Structure 1
Amino acid sequence: MMWLMWHMWVLLALSALLGGVIGWILRGARPEGTLRLPPREKPVAADPVPAAEPAKPMSSPEPAKPETVRPAPVAAKTGADATAGPDDLTRIKGLGPKAESTLAEAGVFHFRQIAAWSAADIEKYDALLNARGRIVRDNWVGQAKELAKG
């Protein structure tokens, strides 16, 4: 029995070693970002060398401006809604504080906005929240319609 266990350890060590060698070969045995180039050959004296052009001053490229993400515009507030702040979206079953903050970043603050979602909006926000179908399963649109009334 002991011989069998010792034999299995030897096979395990050999397979690990073989895997390391294969990985080293496939990776190319060099750190990321390095490029192997063949050594340059020196030009033969018989080859004509073209005259070098004078160096032109290089202009530095403009740095790329980061794109700013702006929340979607919210419809104008009227009446009692104008004085009220954002709704507590966590009252919708299945919508937690993290999802509420993500929706706020996307410009969704009120039940009436969720109540007006179309099928395309549901797909968009399902992907944004990584909800995996929870919006439809928990009927967020229906719950939002009820909460928007009262």
Structure 2
Amino acid sequence: MFEIASLIVVNLIIAAIIGFIAGYLIGRPRTAKIDSIENPNGSSNTQDSKVKPVINPVFRKNAQVDYKPLVLSSPRLVGKDNLQKIKGIDATIENNLNNLGIYHFDQISKWSNKNCDWIEEFLHFPGCAKNNQWIEQAKILQSGKETIYSQKIENGEIAD
């Protein structure tokens, strides 16, 4: 009986050690090397060996996660909407919204004021969504109608 109990204890100790090692390997912070920055004279930067931790940008922001708007993992099968039709959204902001999981007008049209605050905090552009009335424009564009600004985008009067 003592032999069986001692074998069980030894197996538990071995399993605990393997568990700690696996937990450390899986749970340690992920890092990514920063791409080398080439100087204009053609030589590479000496900071190639520096390592920067990769952090999901959602969790770096000061805004509360509770007010994060509804996001999708990918655009719907019909394709993503041209969010640049909304005044105040340029290519950079559209890319940031897409990376966050916002692809369609109906997602923006369902935002609350707290969601707008969260997005403005996330994009580091205070007041951009509220001042440019993104929600109201998205509701119009979602219904299939056009705004004056979106018509100018379609006609090429305003560069994307």
* TM-score normalised according to structure 1 size: 0.50
Larger radius of gyration: 1
* TM-score normalised according to structure 2 size: 0.47
The structure with more helix, counted as a fraction of residues: 2
